[in-house]
Amino acid sequence: MRDPWKRDPGDRPRVFAHRGLALDAFENTLSAFQAALDVGVDGIEMDVSMTRDGRLVCFHDEDLRRITGTGDRLRSTTYHELRAIPLEGHERVPTLDEALDVLGRERAVILDVKPAHKLDISIVDPIARLLRRRQADGSVPVTVSSGNYLVLNRIAVRLPWVRIAFLVSPDSVHSTIGMWGRLSRSYSAIHPQRSLVSPLTVEKWHRRGWTVSAWTVNEPDEARRVADAGVDAIITDDPRAITWSPSSSIPSSPSSP
């Protein structure tokens, strides 16, 4: 069976749709996830946040500015208040349960967990409860990702069978602290921002036993570069632009219309 996370020798990197196919529908909505499935991606990356009343929802931002024009904090908003806000295409912010129902049990999923702030770990217990319920047998290919090593460490303790990926950006203090030592031993993967990817860094991460998924890669030339560097997966806003020639690990340019 083809490993949904590890790139086989001579194979292409896996392609994950970033927040679903947000070019066709509002990001992190059921329509965006379905659109990504329809174009045949290997997997989907989605953001997971929590409302004031403890509901897990697919939402990226800390506030509601982009959908209401206000600075109201997501963590200060109840699920029913959030659900009442119409998005583009008559969508609503979905719960994580709803999103996983759309994806089914066979498509790989990256859950990018968004705590309210750097020291907030309150989202851990709801995530653990949901994954225990939905993944009791470990058969659904899910990776829990975050740039917050405190969250990842606690999820790893509660759910030692879940794949854990550390999300790394160039300017994050958490990246410097979280990548090394005891805290990093529970990681299965690393998700670096694309500028951090090179043949040397990928080789170093692979030696530690981590798979490597680069984000957010939208241009064919950049996809070609990180593929040549050896990444296992590419997380992209535009999976249709990251096309692959047959029997090759190199992305080809999209065909002209």
What is the assigned CATH class of domain 14-252?
alpha beta
pLDDT higher than threshold 70 for residue 195 = yes
**pLDDT score at 3:** 82
Name the token pair of 216. Answer: 């957010």
Kindly state the average pLDDT of the residues 90-97: 96
93 within 8 A of 58, measured Cβ to Cβ: yes
- Confidence class for position 140, pLDDT limits 50, 70, 90: low
- Confidence class for position 250, pLDDT limits 50, 70, 90: low
Name the token pair of 119. Answer: 């020291």
Q: To the nearest whole number, what is the mean pLDDT of the chain?
A: 90
pLDDT higher than threshold 50 for residue 60 = yes
Bridge partners, 193 (sequence order): 215
What are the angstrom distances between the C-alpha of 50 and each of 36, 61, 78, 146? 24, 11, 9, 14
Side-chain-side CA neighbours of residue 256 (13 Å): 0
Alpha helices in the chain (DSSP H): 30-38, 65-68, 79-83, 96-103, 124-134, 149-158, 173-178, 199-207, 220-229
Share of the chain above pLDDT 70, in %: 91
Q: What is the pLDDT of residues 34-46, one digit of tens each?
A: 999 999 999 999 9
